[in-house]
Structure 1
């Protein structure tokens, strides 16, 4: 029986990578059965005591629930050995895509990235480039959609040689054509189905992990580190995450240096 991996994301704005609301994309994948996930959600409810119908990551991230957050991420929680999260610095992802598209030298990436952090002119250039590529994209699997490499990476992470079943929180971007193209591009994917987060506790657990990771990673980019939670997250962060930052983040989380392979994500022409 193939393994089922349940996924959710945080910070997703489609192909809009800069000039939007979020600067980080986090995609969590978990390997838990529904009963275990339901028990975890029940434990969180007992600890947090919020009357909310559905909990989100922001409940766990409140200062008064720090102990519960650390339990969720820690060795006594449900995640060790059963969770992974793929993180994308969206500005870096855009720059690597732009350099790849133009056939520019890879050593342009750090120059553009550094400029984007320092000057408004560079940020405006990247925003315009982002809009231009989006407007002219015709591939079934667009090069600038971070959800697509994240799903591929989840399958690759969890496969033991047997294709995995991907169950994902419902996303309108996951059209039948894109699902077919993802399966064709990735032998590790047996199938992709979409779930309702309100009805499936596994999706809620993935949502917690993705949301927590998004908040911590975005805080790091903006100079607001949380070393305690970062250390608790470290075992779950995929070392192939697409991140370009000073070595401190890489050392702390074991994330490899700049890397991005986009050629395998460009699907057949949609026209």
Structure 2
């Protein structure tokens, strides 16, 4: 069976750094168009926008003076309509979800684990709010940046969580106040205690979890995870590109059809990482034939994926922050992947209804 070629690019990507980034949302677009159709679509954008730029970006379409072009680009008369998808990740929710996966279940490559207890814990943390310090320490603990240091990031995280009253059942913590437009998942004060006990109370006193082999502390599970990262240089828990690429293959390769991904040049997709993705996908009955890297400037399909990812990310992020544009939100609905990782129920209802 001939492989289906999908052009992909991302927006809001800063590797495994999910907290203190310039954007709260990561977006990964997949476009299924022939090269001639993609080139014609770019030519139409140039005709309408009339910018001398050699490479068009989402910022061109997001300018108010080009709103009509954006409406056309996302609308039903666009070549992209029904021929593209955008996988979204709410970065704070993703970080909290990975944290509870590490502490209570087995982390998976393709997004978040299906474990009910872990999802309930991450949902509670996100809904009730955590502190900025807690999120930063959790992000650092799960990053692969310094694989050789197994215990240092774990100790730092548990120091922060303990100081906030999150590692014993006696501390009460403080309920996060209404966010009033702030990004969900954070308390109003940024450095306040937040509702950290909401994470730990279901796991027992002292952050301990009960498993088939007995009781294991959250610290022990975190150390075990970092030992795995030290021993496996291809293991990356937090990189949103991993679930995004896997979802692109699942979305377009349903039924067992092989998929080839043509991706914008990306240092985080070396051959060993691609090989790991291929193994994970084969285990799920899916086939990623290969990943080809191409510069968006010279590959029209990738340039369209870049523009689509950037525009949908900005529209979705505005909706997340409570300042969405009703018309634009409605236009992105056909593109938003139903399996996106999103924690905020209100904005998700707008993006997917």
Fold shared, TM-score > 0.5 on shorter chain: yes
Which residues in structure 2 correspond to 1:5-24 (within 5 Å)? 5-24=6-25
CA distance in 2, matches of 1:176, 1:188: 16
Please list every run of 5 or more consecutive structure 1 residues that lacks an aligned counterpart in the other structure.
256-271
Q: Where in structure 2 are the equivalents of 1:118-267 lying within 5 Å? A: 122-134=131-143, 135-136=146-147, 138=229, 139=232, 140-159=234-253, 160-186=255-281, 187-246=286-345, 248-254=346-352
Residue aligned with 1:142, SS? coil
Question: Residues of 1 paired with 2:48 and 2:275: CA distance?
Answer: 42
C-alpha displacement of 1:250 = 2.8
1:31, CA displacement in angstroms?
0.3
Unpaired runs of 5+ residues, structure 2, are: 106-116, 148-225
Q: Would you say the 8 A contact 2:264–2:296 is kept in 1?
A: yes
Give aligned pairs, total.
Answer: 250
Question: Superposed, which structure 2 residues align to 1:24-35 within 5 Å?
Answer: 24-35=25-36
Q: Residue in 2 aligned with 1:97?
A: 98
Question: Secondary structure in 2 aligned to 1:81?
Answer: coil
1:265 corresponds to: none
Give structure 1 regions of 4+ aligned residues with deviation exceeding 6 angstroms. none
Say whether the 8 Å CA contact 1:216–1:225 is kept in structure 2: yes
Measured after TM superposition, the shift of residue 223 of structure 1 is 2.0
Distance 1:240 1:145 in 2: 17
TM score, norm. by length of structure 2: 0.68
Q: CA deviation at 1:193?
A: 1.3
C-alpha separation between the residues in 2 aligned to 1:251 and 1:180? Answer: 36
Aligned partner of 1:55 in structure 2 is 56
Q: Secondary structure at the match of 2:70?
A: helix
Which has more radius of gyration? Answer: 2
Please list the CA deviations of residues 240-263 of structure 1 after superposition, one character each: whole Å capped at 9, or x if unmatched. Answer: 0000113x33333338xxxxxxxx
Contact 2:86 2:335 in 1 (8 A): yes
Map 1:81-120 to 2 at 5 A: 81-103=82-104, 105-106=117-118, 107-116=120-129
Contact 1:167 1:195 in 2 (8 A): yes
Contact conserved, 2:142 with 2:237, CA < 8 A, in 1? no
* Cα shift readout 1:157-185 (whole Å, capped 9, x = no counterpart): 00142111111111101111101111111
* In 1, Cα distance between equivalents of 2:287 and 2:11: 23
Secondary structure at the residue paired with 2:10?
strand
* Conserved? CA contact 2:322–2:347, under 8 Å: no
RMSD between aligned alpha carbons?
A: 1.5
The answer (yes or no) to whether the contact 1:141–1:148 under 8 Å persists in 2 is no
TM-fit CA distance, 1:94: 0.5
8 Å Cα contact 1:8/1:168 also seen in 2: yes
